Amino acid sequence: MNVPRLIDPKIFKINHELFVTFNSGWIREGNDLFIMKVYPEFESPKRVVCKNRQKQERNWAFFSRDNDIYALYWINSLKILRLTDKDGACWEFEDYSSEETLNNKLPSDLTIGTQLSELEGKYYFIAHKKYFSRLLSLF
């Protein structure tokens, strides 16, 4: 993988398999996101790729529906990506769905904090809002 560090591990389930997602942290040239299957068997990490992604990415929320795999990419404005290719070293996603504004009562700077959990056909997750001070960003 040739990255200096890996951070923000999060576990998620797709069908009857467990995966972990993590990223390479802040890197000046741009970071990378990874997915690694951990159950029922371990597989090598796969780099997540998507055209037009931001230079620094951390928290996508992965889920499946109707045998396809998706990623919640942004909350507000809502953007969902769909997995189009799983070659040996990468999972490639493309734009699938987006809405200008999910809800005008939601802050536009909410970020994804956890992976999605599905219950009775609805998805739940925790989002967080960034606050900035002079030198720090706080969640």
Domain ranges of the chain: 7-138
Position 126: which residue type?
I
- One DSSP character per residue, 61-104 reads EEEEETTEEEEEEETTTTEEEEEEEE-SSEEEEEEEEE-S-S-T
Identify the pLDDT of residue 25: 81
Per-residue model confidence as pLDDT tens digits over 46-84: 999 988 777 777 788 999 988 899 998 887 778 899 999
Tell me phi and psi for residue 21, to 5 degrees: -115, 145
Record the pTM.
Answer: 0.80
Span 101-133, pLDDT tens digits: 556 666 777 778 888 888 898 888 888 777 766
Q: What's the pLDDT score for residue 138?
A: 58
